[in-house]
Amino acid sequence: MLDKALFLAMAAQVFLTFAVLMLLGRERVPRVMSGEIAVKDIAVERDAYPLKARLLSNNFDNQFQLPVLFYVACILSLSAGDTGWFDVILAWLFVALRYVHSIIHVTTNRVHRRFAVYAMGMLVLALLWLWLVIRLCLLLP
């Protein structure tokens, strides 16, 4: 049961990434297709897009930073077996903070608030990794 809960935390993070990508496409594609934005203006830089599209793009990029370490930790935990409640709680807390971070990022974009949530997520992820190292190197036979 705990393995499934940990897997579902990873799935929730993946769904967040896809949701941001779909919102990004909804912002970008119609503008390019209508000719509002020329392809040559976006071939290298994102500056031609309106702010909302740039925020979504930055947030999408952000889904491949800390979450990569999250996925690795979860996969290692699952492969080692004996997943515990602490792993699951930390994983879901990380994912919840990623959702909050994304909502702030693509709406108000209050940088101080966004950074605070990002830092909390980073701390939770560091705790997950510390616990994983302790569990795999010191507690498992």
pTM here is 0.94
Which range marks the domain in which residue 119 is found?
A: 2-139
**3-state SS, one letter per residue, for 63-103:** CCCHHHHHHHHHHHHHHHCCCCHHHHHHHHHHHHHHHHHHH
77: nearest Cα among 130, 121, 118: 130
**pLDDT band per the 50, 70, 90 thresholds, residue 141:** low
Domain containing 8 — which CATH number?
A: 1.20.120.550
**pLDDT band per the 50, 70, 90 thresholds, residue 82:** confident
Rg (CA), the chain: 18
Alpha helix stretches (DSSP H) within 107-135: 111-134
Report pLDDT digits (tens) over 16-75.
999 999 999 999 999 999 999 999 999 999 999 999 999 999 999 999 999 999 999 999
Q: Which two tokens stand for residue 10?
A: 């990873």
Domain count, the chain: 1
Q: What percent of the chain has pLDDT over 70?
A: 99
pLDDT at 112: 98
Report pLDDT digits (tens) over 90-115.
999 999 999 999 999 999 999 999 99
